[in-house]
Amino acid sequence: MSAPVSGRGLISRAPHLRRDFAASLVVFLVALPLCVGVAVASGVPAELGLVTGIVGGLVTGVLRGSSLQVSGPAAGLTVLVFEAVKEFGLPALGAIVLATGLLQVAMGVLRLGRYFRAISLAVVEGMLAGIGLVLVAGQLYPAMAAKAPDAGLDKMLGLPRGLVGAVGDGRALASLALCAGTVAVMVGWKHLPARVRTVPGPLAAVGLATLAVPVFGTKVAMVEVRGLLGAVQPPPLSAFAGFADVAVLGTIVAFTLIASAESLFSAAAVDRLHDGPRTEYDRELTAQGIGNTVCGLLGALPLTAVIVRSAANVQAGARTKASRVLHGVWLLLFAALLPGALAHIPLPSLAGVLIYSGAKLVPVKSLAELWREQRGEALILAVTAVSIVAVGMFEGVLIGLALAIVKTAWEASHIKVTVMDKGAGPVDAHLSGNATFLRLPKILDSLEALPKDRPVRLDLSGLLHLDHACRTALENWAGRHSAEGTEPVRLTSGAGTGERAGTPAG
């Protein structure tokens, strides 16, 4: 009985295996140029991008969480990684990524993954928009064969001067043309026939640029190759001494929050693309943490779930996690057997890939729609993005979160004051909503405008919440009004205020 059942199981899985095998090749071809490009833009050896992609497939890929989501180095962390390497050095990167992974594992075990869904979407989109702006500005410099400034704002402000300088430099113009051609191929790729689009756009763009260099005899910068074993450098023990530095700890927290949020928001997006099993958020966070722990031990880039590769995986027909594991196998084989091929890739073409990817992080269309529907959310998005460009990644995200909290508190404290004055007899004032200190000026202005020579009945039964500041202020107002007027104020309270109905005040 067992043999036939096993045979039927193999037959039933065979169609999935064929689909997953084909999808893995597509994801590999999409991931290859992105892994290399993200590494180069992060200021680390190109091979480390492949190492992170391999770990994303062979380690994170086999773990439970989101079955069709693909992990690897992400453009969203490029700016933060570049800043960390510049400030603390490449050896410290492994220690920072290792600590990030361990924190993610701890959060997953403590079942905190689901709470990342409570982060304001405007802050997340603003974070990605700010990263996209800095990424685009930063990659325009290698596109012009120039060195990019360190600060994000300096990158933006220095572009006009850089472009003017490139006009009179033949090598800079050739480099810029190669970058522009790469972007043009990626933009137009989706409009080509389906048979042509079997090759992923990023691979086609980089491949055509690589062929154009020898054909036209163009002199441009190429990817530097160290070899896989030469690039992998586990963090030395001295790198962990930096954990006593507040700046290093802040970088670890930034890595953890941004990598986790990006991965779990990507998981939610991927779930909308297919009708298979839904993401288990806590397990996915743990899987991301284990992957980053391994990346840290290897001195590689941090990994996150990447929506570009994940969407390609789903669209290519993947049905199980086998596709993402196999894509890691193909990356490993490429890194082991063909590392010299990286030396033939022109840097301006990788800059073009990242410029295209960075531009897609800026939600221009959705921001316009958000401005029409919810201007407060649009303002949070824009301020977060601008703050990241002007100040820095971590500070920008904190500013965005603070704005989101203030906005939520303001909206949650909605209060309505209704006054019924018939011209004679008692005046009825009714408060409804949430009475918090944020709306105290409005409440007191309305109450202090009531006539002082007539009795007032203040009805609080419509309040859902009455905080201590408002309670104290209302009691003080009632006391003053009763002392100044001819009749005492009568306070009628609801269950939410902690008072009993009909309790007199003053």
Would you state the pLDDT for residue 256? 92
* Whole-Å CA distances, 382 to 128, 177, 216, 395: 11, 31, 43, 14
Q: Are residues 101 and 226 in the same domain?
A: yes
* Whole-Å CA distances, 68 to 60, 206, 285: 11, 26, 15
Residues of the chain scoring pLDDT < 50? 1-12, 495-506
Q: Are residues 376 and 455 in the same domain?
A: no
Q: Do residues 404 and 413 make contact, with C-beta atoms less than 8 angstroms apart? A: no
d(CA 409, CA 64): 37
Would you state the pLDDT for residue 492? 67
Q: What is the pLDDT of residues 104-113, one digit of tens each?
A: 999 999 998 8
Residue 293 in any domain: the answer is: yes
Residue 12 in any domain: the answer is: no
What phi and psi, each to the nearest 5 degrees, are found at residue 149? -65, 165
Q: Do residues 318 and 23 make contact, with C-beta atoms less than 8 angstroms apart? A: yes
Residue 6 in any domain: the answer is: no
d(CA 53, CA 259): 15
Q: Are residues 359 and 475 in the same domain?
A: no
Which residues are within 8 A (CB) of 473 and not within 5 positions of it... i.e. 6 or more apart? 440, 443, 444
DSSP of 242-254: GGGSHHHHHHHHH
Residue 1 in any domain: the answer is: no
* Whole-Å CA distances, 154 to 14, 131, 158, 162, 400: 55, 14, 6, 12, 21
Quick count: other Cβ atoms within 10 Å of Cβ 295? 29
Is 481 exposed, middle or buried, given 0-12, 13-18 or 19+ CB atoms closer than 10 A? buried
Q: Are residues 399 and 427 in the same domain?
A: no
* Whole-Å CA distances, 352 to 30, 140, 214, 215, 223: 15, 8, 19, 19, 14
Q: Are residues 336 and 461 in the same domain?
A: no
Q: Are residues 375 and 419 in the same domain?
A: no
Would you state the pLDDT for residue 287? 94
Residue 237 in any domain: the answer is: yes
The residue among 364, 381, 406 that closes a domain is 406
Residue 9 in any domain: the answer is: no
**419: three-class secondary structure by DSSP:** strand
Q: Are residues 230 and 199 in the same domain?
A: yes
Residue 11 in any domain: the answer is: no
Which residues are within 8 A (CB) of 497 and not within 5 positions of it... i.e. 6 or more apart? 460, 463, 466, 471
The residue among 379, 406, 433 that closes a domain is 406
* Residue ranges making up the domain that contains 465: 415-505
Would you state the pLDDT for residue 317? 81
Q: Are residues 422 and 348 in the same domain?
A: no
Residue 145 gets the label, from left (phi > 0), alpha (psi -120 to 50) or beta, of: left
d(CA 116, CA 260): 8
Q: Are residues 440 and 366 in the same domain?
A: no
Would you state the pLDDT for residue 10? 38
The residue among 373, 406, 439 that closes a domain is 406
Q: Are residues 393 and 445 in the same domain?
A: no
What's the total number of domains in the chain?
Answer: 2
Q: Are residues 389 and 469 in the same domain?
A: no
Within 221-374, residue ranges assigned H as helices are: 228-231, 246-271, 281-297, 307-315, 322-337, 347-360, 364-373
Please report, for the domain that includes residue 457, its CATH number. Answer: 3.30.750.24
d(CA 313, CA 191): 20
Q: Do residues 78 and 39 make contact, with C-beta atoms less than 8 angstroms apart? A: no
Residue 10 in any domain: the answer is: no
Q: Are residues 186 and 263 in the same domain?
A: yes
Would you state the pLDDT for residue 496? 44
